[in-house]
Chains A and B, each alone.
Chain A
Amino acid sequence: MQVANYLGLVRRAEEELAEAFERVGKQHAIEIDVLHMCKLFRSWSLDHAENLKLLIDKYGEEKDDEPKDLSSAVIETRMGALGLLRNLQGLLLMASEVETCYIILNQAAQALRDKELELSCRQFGTKTHRQKSWLLTKIKHAASQTLVVAES
């Protein structure tokens, strides 16, 4: 039974994602839509991490530092239009990591006939997907200006 492994991974990944949203939001606070959305998405991820505790009480948790490595690799202090684009892409990678964890855990939940786990994975996974959708939308809107005209 490795559910505890993935619960540990996803909780840590949500915490890292929340922190990354905060960092990117602050770094690019002049981009007001980015600031507002990063604040909102940070609150979602923190909420998930908090609510995962109920499941961790049931299945246990294996500590996992991998999400921290991912965060260090993809979120750097970068300014300007290109920096924003790269940071948004980093957030998208991190959110994908989280979403994949919920997909994997949801498979296990169904095999275990654990409705509570299944519901949590579905709800949190949906919200993570919405974070990703916004990131992808913003990235697409910013891409051509940044790569074709902006200087940095």
Chain B
Amino acid sequence: MKQTRNSIENIWGERTPHIRGEWPSRIDEYYLEKPDKWVQSACLLCSNGCGIDIGVKDGRIVGVRGREVDRVNHGRLGPKGLHGWMANNSEDRLTTPLVRQNGELRPTTWDAAMNLIVNKTKDIIEKYTSNAIGIYNSGQLFLEEYYTLAVIARAGLRTPHVDGNTRLCTSTSSWALKLSFGTDGQPASYTDIDITDAMFLVGHNMASTQTVLWSRVLDRLHSANKPKLVVVDPRATYTSEYAHVHLMPKVGTNVAVLNGILNYVITKGQIDTEFISRCTIGFNELERAVAKWKPDLVEKVTGIPQNDFIEAAEIIANAPTLISTALQGVFQSMQATAAAVQINNVQLIRGMIGKPGCGVFQMNGQPTAQNTRECGANGEMPAFRNWHNKEHMKELAAIWNVEPDVIPQWQPSTHIMQQFRYAEQGSLKMMWISATNPAVSLPELSRIRKILQKEDFFVVVNDAFMTETTALADVVLPAALWGEKTGCYTNADRTVHISHKAVDPPGEARSDFDIWIDYANRMGFHDKDGLPLIKWKTPEEAFEAWKICSKGRPCDYSGLSYQKLTGGSGIQWPCNEQYPEGKAQLYTDGVFNTDFSFCEGYTCDLETGAEMPPFEYKALNPAGKAILLPCDYQPPHEEPDEKYPLWLTTGRVVYHFHTRTKTGRAEALQKAAPDMYIQISETDAKDLNIADGEIIKVESRSGSVEGPARIGGIAPGLIFIPFHYGYWDGEERFRAANELTKTSWDPVSKQPHYKHAAVRIEKVDSGAKKTLSDTKDEVVDVMKGMFENVKQKLKI
């Protein structure tokens, strides 16, 4: 056993300060047995994408170490990276396909399972068309898998219903980038953090969500020339501890805060007028829209004291260089896209895009979210093409050798909440879910469980483990995990990594890549010459096909290859003839991707989500200028009232990822954060006579949960529950935060509102404790059966 540091106790490790230069390296390493060999990969447990080597002994993963040569982490790893690999070796991995027979999932052969899926698909298409089939995938698969899936879904099945679980985490990021700059793609680079003078973190608890990136920031904060840090978060967090100014706005008021900042910067004259006139459109409208947001109005709406607000605004207005970031506190809140776009506007009016030490990170949540968005597995068209642009669709059709009208292009792809609604209504008859767990991660879980259970809804799930979702599926396909397959993925600063296969998957488990190619072959999907639609058999061949598809687009991979990505650091896109070693920053010439013929979308109304028709955008044509889109503040749809007097906000803890399918199986991580908790302010705890650790009940209009109270670190009137915890590991009391959240989403990005629901708290009467077991619900019987299986396997 070797452990270079205890990442559970000291999450970020020792400081390595530096003065505006190269971030020093520090190699973090943890293995149980000395590996026979190390295999190059990248971490898959947050959007940072740290370079990692997988240690292998006797065909099993035994540990990991950070890759010193990698530009993203310089050898460092966080607690999830150092421990999460243990899930691969977990004894309860799925090893054979399962098919539901007489109400129970039973083992079967790949042939039988795939034939069932193919027959069902063909039958549904014949009766109802492919409009009756939905695809819901992930932010954790590999580029080659996403691209293959996108081609199958769009040119094989030809369905308009494709989405990824990136809808829940970074759909707003993609939309904000698209609306301001013309296409998706993060403008800045992590190396900008090494030299910036100020950082503005909005709804982004970086210390918990991207621990290694936070180490990078901490090293700056411990240096002599530390940057100023402004944090906007309604909770006190590890991140806010380091803030020069911590603004704690009322839930749902981000747009009011940001309009206030914009107004302050404009009225103080701290704008870059040359940049604004050369590189943007819409400044006059923006100036008018924010004019009323003076510090006193900001205080009135957001609750932020004027002095604090002015102190923060001064930093943002005067910093010689500035980086802004946003994450779920923006993306999962009221007016998500509108707020994210205002952050872009702050950077634009200060002229701080495309310059060293400047830029914006509309942060990604998941490790491969960027690739779902690039490849089109989230329903966008591949390589940031515009579904509304007939020329773009012709290009795609030519690349795939199909007729253009094969590709659904009469509407944008259907987002997951709408897909579930169609299923509820009965017009979606089949859904293929991969590497995601909607029965814990979507809002209003009781409804989601009911829909997944519907008799006329055929659900296929690819996963490595039994989850709350697989328990309700009709077919479960055992999937290979990271380390058991080869492919590439791209992090939040456009760094592309290769992850080589280190070990074989267990039993009969297969990669999603192999599963979908098998499906395409069995379905007989073909191009217009009658040749197979999917012309590749290996991930490397798929990568070569993706290079052709992405060439000439902003996410240009044409200069990359498996060989080039192997042996050294990850490389940023665009990587092509012009930038053979990748490009650190986008938009360095002040020219954006907004031209009518090039952009990814024709913009929309920030308040309503209404699409601008192509002819209107053509008349407006920004032709390479960034678009300053204003939006006024709107109060949340649901506010606390007499019956439900508190706000609930949901979020993450540092030790877990998503629904814990992996991190819950890594002993050290699970031990560090074994259960959910209900964070409540001292004031509210006192009013309700609640003691720290006492089991309390939280109820909303959607459902209820019970858990231990954790007192302090949060504003009065607000409670916080981490969303990771469901039921797969045998917990029978209701505890998933999404039992409480509402079905509601942002009008533009369609990202659900996880950050605000009205709730009330009760002390628990032990006799009245409500558990899954005593709930009269057929879903629960299935879940109970699953728990028993899991318990037997885990010998609990």
Given contacts A31-B421, A144-B160, contact A149 B427 (CB under 8 A): yes
Query: What CA separation (Å) do A137 and B425 show in the bound complex?
Result: 21
Are B427 and A145 in contact, with the CB atoms below 8 A?
yes
Are B747 and A150 in contact, with the CB atoms below 8 A?
no
Are B605 and A36 in contact, with the CB atoms below 8 A?
no
Would you list which residues of chain A between 27 and 66 have a CB under 8 Å from chain B?
30-33, 36-37, 40
Given contacts A31-B421, A81-B427, contact A133 B411 (CB under 8 A): no
Given contacts A133-B608, A133-B610, A144-B410, contact A36 B744 (CB under 8 A): yes
Are B611 and A151 in contact, with the CB atoms below 8 A?
no
Q: Answer whether residue A141 sits at the interface, using C-beta atoms and an 8 A cutoff.
A: yes
Would you list which residues of chain B between 76 and 121 have a CB under 8 Å from chain A?
none
Across-interface contacts of B131 in A (CB, < 8 A): 144-145, 148-149
Are B422 and A145 in contact, with the CB atoms below 8 A?
yes
Query: What CA separation (Å) do A80 and B427 show in the bound complex?
Result: 11
Are A151 and B608 in contact, with the CB atoms below 8 A?
no
Would you list which residues of chain B between 728 and 774 have a CB under 8 Å from chain A?
743-745, 747
A30, A143, A144: residue with the most chain B Cβ atoms closer than 10 Å: A144
Q: Answer whether residue B199 sits at the interface, using C-beta atoms and an 8 A cutoff.
A: no
Query: What CA separation (Å) do A40 and B412 show in the bound complex?
Result: 23
Are B411 and A141 in contact, with the CB atoms below 8 A?
yes
Are A149 and B610 in contact, with the CB atoms below 8 A?
no
Q: Answer whether residue A78 sits at the interface, using C-beta atoms and an 8 A cutoff.
A: no
Across-interface contacts of B410 in A (CB, < 8 A): 140, 144
Are B609 and A134 in contact, with the CB atoms below 8 A?
yes
Map CB proximity to B onto A117-152 as digits: 1 under 8 Å, 0 otherwise: 000000000000010011011001101111011110
Across-interface contacts of A148 in B (CB, < 8 A): 128-129, 131
Closest to B410 in A: A144
Shortest B494–chain A CB gap in Å is: 31
Are A36 and B637 in contact, with the CB atoms below 8 A?
yes
Query: What CA separation (Å) do A140 and B428 show in the bound complex?
Result: 18
Q: Answer whether residue B52 sits at the interface, using C-beta atoms and an 8 A cutoff.
A: no
Query: What CA separation (Å) do A32 and B611 show in the bound complex?
Result: 19
Across-interface contacts of B640 in A (CB, < 8 A): none
Query: What CA separation (Å) do A144 and B743 show in the bound complex?
Result: 23
Q: Answer whether residue B426 sits at the interface, using C-beta atoms and an 8 A cutoff.
A: yes
Across-interface contacts of A33 in B (CB, < 8 A): 609, 745, 747
The main secondary structure of chain A at its interface with chain B is helix
B425, B612, B743: residue with the most chain A Cβ atoms closer than 10 Å: B425
Query: What CA separation (Å) do A151 and B414 show in the bound complex?
Result: 19
Q: Answer whether residue B132 sits at the interface, using C-beta atoms and an 8 A cutoff.
A: yes
Shortest A145–chain B CB gap in Å is: 6
Across-interface contacts of B412 in A (CB, < 8 A): 141
Q: Residues of B within 8 Å of A, CB-based: how many? A: 30
Shortest B454–chain A CB gap in Å is: 14
Across-interface contacts of A30 in B (CB, < 8 A): 421
Across-interface contacts of A130 in B (CB, < 8 A): 605, 607-608, 610
Across-interface contacts of B610 in A (CB, < 8 A): 130, 133-134, 136-137
Shortest B44–chain A CB gap in Å is: 33
Across-interface contacts of B747 in A (CB, < 8 A): 33, 36-37
Closest to A129 in B: B610
Query: What CA separation (Å) do A130 and B425 show in the bound complex?
Result: 29
Given contacts A144-B410, A149-B131, contact A133 B427 (CB under 8 A): no
Query: What CA separation (Å) do A37 and B410 show in the bound complex?
Result: 23
Are A133 and B611 in contact, with the CB atoms below 8 A?
yes
Across-interface contacts of A144 in B (CB, < 8 A): 131, 160, 410-411
Are A151 and B427 in contact, with the CB atoms below 8 A?
yes
Shortest A98–chain B CB gap in Å is: 16
Across-interface contacts of B605 in A (CB, < 8 A): 130, 133-134
Map CB proximity to A onto B631-671 as digits: 1 under 8 Å, 0 otherwise: 00010010000000000000000000000000000000000
Are B411 and A134 in contact, with the CB atoms below 8 A?
no
Query: What CA separation (Å) do A81 and B428 show in the bound complex?
Result: 13
Are A134 and B427 in contact, with the CB atoms below 8 A?
no
Are A32 and B425 in contact, with the CB atoms below 8 A?
no
Shortest A3–chain B CB gap in Å is: 29
Query: What CA separation (Å) do A145 and B129 show in the bound complex?
Result: 10
Shortest B175–chain A CB gap in Å is: 15
Shortest B412–chain A CB gap in Å is: 7
Query: What CA separation (Å) do A142 and B616 show in the bound complex?
Result: 22
Query: What CA separation (Å) do A146 and B418 show in the bound complex?
Result: 13
Across-interface contacts of A136 in B (CB, < 8 A): 610
Across-interface contacts of A31 in B (CB, < 8 A): 421
Would you list which residues of chain B between 27 and 63 have a CB under 8 Å from chain A?
none
Would you list which residues of chain B between 593 and 630 have a CB under 8 Å from chain A?
604-605, 607-612
With beta carbons under 8 angstroms apart, the residue of B411, B426, B604, B612 that contacts A151 is: B426
Across-interface contacts of A40 in B (CB, < 8 A): 607-608, 634
Are A149 and B411 in contact, with the CB atoms below 8 A?
no
Shortest B723–chain A CB gap in Å is: 20
Would you list which residues of chain B between 565 and 609 have a CB under 8 Å from chain A?
604-605, 607-609
Closest to B611 in A: A137
Closest to B129 in A: A148
Across-interface contacts of B427 in A (CB, < 8 A): 81, 145-146, 149-151
Query: What CA separation (Å) do A149 and B133 show in the bound complex?
Result: 10
Shortest B161–chain A CB gap in Å is: 8
Query: What CA separation (Å) do A144 and B131 show in the bound complex?
Result: 8
Query: What CA separation (Å) do A13 and B427 show in the bound complex?
Result: 35
Query: What CA separation (Å) do A141 and B131 show in the bound complex?
Result: 12
Are B744 and A32 in contact, with the CB atoms below 8 A?
yes
Map CB proximity to B onto A50-91 as digits: 1 under 8 Å, 0 otherwise: 000000000000000000000000000000110000000000
Shortest A104–chain B CB gap in Å is: 22
Q: 18 A-B contacts, Cβ less than 8 Å apart? A: A32-B745, A37-B747, A80-B425, A133-B611, A134-B609, A137-B604, A137-B610, A141-B412, A144-B160, A145-B422, A145-B427, A148-B128, A149-B128, A149-B132, A149-B427, A149-B428, A150-B422, A150-B426
Known: A37-B747, A140-B410, A148-B131. 6 other contacts (CB 8 A): A33-B745, A40-B608, A137-B611, A148-B129, A149-B427, A149-B428
For the complex of A and B, the 4 pairs showing the least CB-CB separation, nearest first, are A133-B610, A134-B610, A150-B427, A149-B427
